Amino acid sequence: MKSLIRNLTLKAMALFCTATLQAAVTQPSSVGNHHPDQNFYIFLCFGQSNMEGAARPEAQDMVSPGPRFLLMPAVDDAQRGRKMGEWCEATPPLCRPNNGLTPADYFGRTLIASLPDSIRVGVIHVAIGGIRIEGFMPDKIEQYAKTAPNWMVGMLKAYDNNPYERLVTLARKAQKDGVIKGVLMHQGESNTGDPEWATKVQTVYDRLLGDLQLKPEEVPLLAGEVVQAGGKGQCIAMNKQIDELPKTIHTAQVVKSDGCTNLADNLHFDAAGYRELGCRYGELMARLLGYEPVRPYIEQPKAMEVPADAIVAETTIPGNDFPKVDKEHRAYFKIGGLKPTANPVLDICSKKYDMHRDAQGNWFAVTDPLPVGFHYYFVNVGGQNFVDPSTETFFGCHRQAGGIEIPEGPEGNYYRPQPGVPQGQVRSLYYFSNEQQRWRHAMIYTPAEYEQGKKRYPVLYLQHGMGEDETGWTKQGHMQHIMDNAIARGEAVPMIVVMESGDIKAPFGGGENRAGRSQYGASFYPVLLNDLIPYIDKNFRTKADREHRAMAGLSWGGHQTFDVVLTHLDKFAWMGTFSGAIFGLDVKTAYDGVFTNADKLNKQIHYIYMNWGEEDFIKSGELVKQLRNQGIKVDANESKGTAHEWLTWRRGLYEFIPHLFR
């Protein structure tokens, strides 16, 4: 369907560019003589912004309905090859070059669907956003133009400061080609509460009939209600006056706006609302002309079906209904505020999902069942990634990213806060780096008991992965809850945990990446050793020796752990990696051959742990095998059903900490 619409749109645009070369097709056959075609029905359209068109047309609106629906432009449009007063096929914009979809678009499409093929429909369209009805009154317009607000000046000038005169001039020209059958008006928002509004509309209508020598019984006035927005329309009070217009003008007919969708301003209709309102104008006119109304084909917005068991994701910002997750682990996303032509794509878990627009103008997507755990995601618009405004943000993928938690069952309680478990603190602090001569940021976890005495604690330096930052372990990894729960159950000794950025927030720039040789993130090593560790030992109650100091990291943080610990065995006695990005490591030569003396290393490093995901693209199984062949004691585990993701690393930390400092 998208391909068909795209092809038809291109075809329609080609027709615009060659309109003047195809005059025989698009011009009424009576042009140039004085015998109007009685089967060419012409309608005059005037009003303010909702007749002008405030919604951007969508692909289906740009497909030309063909030469049976014509427009006599009221202004030149060089971009589309249109000239004022010369008939052309009626596709948006009908009013002026920068306007949008209007009720007249689907008024005309409904009529040609309802009337015999021998009948053509033409519209003349003059509208100005925000104009009062006085702007169409010949004896008022001169003074009105002088006092018009600045934003309206250019619009008035497009009609030589007399929109009524432009409408009448073109209508007289059109009468040489066909027969005027009706007047369409959508106006009133700027006259809300004006008790004389109906009388002023009658003045305009009567003047039109007189100037064009028309009979009111043959040329009814169709007036549309304003936006209702479920009772919240900004000018909804005007509808009572519009509904009573037939009391003043006996040939007036009212087009209802209930159920017509609108933009967020509660003042203008959206594209779907204009289609619906326009169809209602057309259906009413078809009946007045003696025909049974037939609606044109309209591609209806899709609706997202959300099962009753779906719950709001825990990563959703409070006050929003989406994203949601159902019991099958499908995720449901809904985003508003994007242009109708945005065509956004949801990018999550290495798969892209086209988003669809619903009747309210929101874009939505439903995913396949997702793996449990935390996942980054983006909304891609025009090739650029944006964060869903309804979700909490997380630093990942080298930038702020959206994220969603697909909940595990009770097996995930180890990383959730639990009733009755004393909660530790996560502190955010800045310290000055003499190595880099700048302030740096770190996150520090202290166990619940830390505030209760003068006890000293061992320290774990815990690093994140490439493209993430020092907040990752607490926001995405729930490290603090893992620690609290393990300590409360006696599974881990109370300890301080220090998390720093590691200088790996920016993308990898290429070059050497073998363990012990890479420069990516190596700028952090002297900071850690000469600034951060001394700062922590000075400002927190630590046990400041190697026996009570550990280091671990996920992905590239695991790479950094190997680089730091194995070259500074005087400072660390415990180490771990989770999906460790340790490449090109020769166990016989790396780190000055540290692995060749297994007995010595096994005494220096009391515990080495490595984990990775079953679906991980970085696996440490082969490295573990090589180390064990060298006689190195390594504890390892593969996380079932997970990939290179936070659930793998949560599990790794949970399995690692019980072995520390014992």
Rounded Cα distance, 545 and 246, in Å: 92
Nearest to 110 by CA among 290, 301, 298: 298
Rounded Cα distance, 271 and 289, in Å: 27
37, 49, 518, 555: the catalytic one is 49
Which residues lie closer than 8 Å to 446 by C-beta, 6 or more apart?
424, 425, 427, 457, 496, 540
Q: Could you tell me the two tokens for 175? A: 């009468």
Q: 220: number of CA atoms within 13 Å, CB side?
A: 18
Q: 392: number of CA atoms within 13 Å, CB side?
A: 16
Which residues lie closer than 8 Å to 517 by C-beta, 6 or more apart?
584
Measured from the Cβ of residue 360, the count of other Cβ atoms closer than 10 Å reads 16
Nearest-5° Cα angle at 227, 222 to 230? 130
3-state secondary structure of 87: coil
**Residue 630: alpha-carbon gap to chain centroid:** 53
206, 243, 258, 265: the catalytic one is 265
At 537, give phi and psi (nearest 5°). -65, -30
Rounded Cα distance, 467 and 464, in Å: 9
Q: Could you tell me the two tokens for 416? A: 């959730």
At 414, give phi and psi (nearest 5°). -65, -20
125, 186, 268, 375: the catalytic one is 268
Rounded Cα distance, 591 and 627, in Å: 13
Burial class (CB in 10 A: 0-12, 13-18, 19+), 30: middle
265 is catalytic: yes
Active-site residues: which are they?
A: 49, 265, 268
